[in-house]
């Protein structure tokens, strides 16, 4: 696990574009955050950690940052693992690593949100298996029939 570096952009774009769960709009948003990260090194709103594999090429990543106006709260904006590398523990290692990083920075809580669509059940199950609990569900948030599900993990 390491901070994402400039040469990671192409493999990270490939991971985003290869994601079967994400809509085009979601992919565009993930790409926009990636470009903010690489194009403005002084910003600290969107931070990226890469899970590098053979030849130091990213197999997955997590994008996270401090929650605005909240003391000791961080948010995970995206966590993606390349299609050929899923179900091998990379996502769990990314989550564990980011929990350690933010805890060292004084975090007391991590928050992540996802879709309530049936196709996202694997994602929701993943968060639960990592110790996150469903804190809220906003019915029809993203579009009719697509809830916003918010998971939280206390780090204290």
User: Of 87 and 72, which is predicted with more confidence?
Assistant: 72
- CATH number 3.30.360.10 is the correct assignment for the domain at 2-154: no
The values of phi and psi at residue 73, to 5°, are -115, 130
Distance, in Å, from the CA atom of 28 to the CA atom of 17, rounded to the nearest integer, reads: 9
Strands 146-154 vs 73-81: parallel, antiparallel or unpaired: unpaired
Residue-range domain boundaries for the chain: 2-154
pLDDT of residue 54: 81
pLDDT per residue over 108-142, tens digit each?
999 999 999 998 999 999 999 999 999 999 999 99
pLDDT per residue over 18-53, tens digit each?
998 888 999 999 999 999 999 998 998 999 999 998
Q: How far is CA 52 from the centre of its chain?
A: 16
Contact by Cβ (8 Å): 5, 55: no
Which residue in 32, 1, 5 sits closest to 16, CA to CA? 32
CB atoms within 10 A of CB 8: 22
């Amino acid at each position: 696990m390491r901070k994402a570096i400039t040469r990671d952009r192409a493999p990270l774009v490939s991971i985003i574009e290869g994601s079967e769960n994400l809509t085009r709009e979601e992919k565009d948003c993930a790409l926009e955050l990636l470009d903010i990260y690489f194009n403005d090194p002084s910003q600290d709103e969107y931070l990226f950690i890469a899970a590098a594999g053979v030849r130091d090429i990213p197999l997955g990543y997590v994008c996270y940052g401090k929650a605005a106006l909240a003391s000791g709260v961080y948010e995970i904006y995206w966590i993606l693992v390349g299609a050929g590398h899923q179900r091998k523990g990379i996502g769990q290692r990314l989550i564990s690593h980011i929990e350690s990083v933010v805890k060292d920075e004084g975090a007391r809580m991590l928050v992540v949100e996802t879709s309530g669509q049936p196709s996202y059940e694997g994602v929701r199950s993943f968060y639960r298996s990592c110790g996150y609990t469903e804190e809220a569900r906003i019915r029809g948030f993203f579009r009719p029939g697509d809830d916003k599900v918010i998971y939280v993990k206390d780090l204290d």
